Amino acid sequence: MKKEDFHKGQTVYLLLLSNAARGKHGEELIMESTVTAIGNKYITVSPGYYRGSVRFEIDDNFRQHSDYSPEHKLFLSRQEIVNRMEKEKLLCWFRNSFRIFSQNKDFSLTALREAKEILEKSEVEE
């Protein structure tokens, strides 16, 4: 993302993290928000679920400006968040499937070779 990708009044999406995500799952973690200001240092958004605003530092990869642990991650579209969540779920599945002590799955040698070949050829999309 770049500063130029934003304009006042634009709809953006927040992925809830830490305390803001407590008790929420899946789509509940995605909040629609509106850009209220664009400055030299910060992008300011107004989430609809509480009063106040949240600022994101332009020069720090749009990380939430906070003295504490960030509770929001900024995205330009809902689909970006959905893709990220799916990717994390798939990586978790792979990790769990290949744990030494988790012998509940029996992969054939051919399937393992094919998966290795596919993963070696792939490039990071993000």
Q: Where are the domains of the chain?
A: 3-76, 81-121
> Which one-letter amino acid corresponds to residue 2?
K
Q: What is the mean pLDDT of residues 3-15?
A: 92
pLDDT in tens, 55-70: 999 988 899 898 888 8
pTM above 0.85, yes or no: no
d(CA 12, CA 71): 15
Using a 10 angstrom Cβ sphere, with 0-12 exposed, 13-18 middle and 19 or more buried, the burial of residue 114 is exposed
Task: Tell me which residue of 88, 105, 87 sits closest to 97, measured CA to CA.
Answer: 105
Question: Using one digit for the tens of pLDDT, what is the confidence trace for 38-50?
Answer: 999 999 998 877 6
Whether the Cβ atoms of residue 65 and residue 10 lie closer than 8 Å to each other: no
The pLDDT confidence band at residue 10, using thresholds 50, 70 and 90, is very high
Per-chain mean pLDDT for the chain: 85
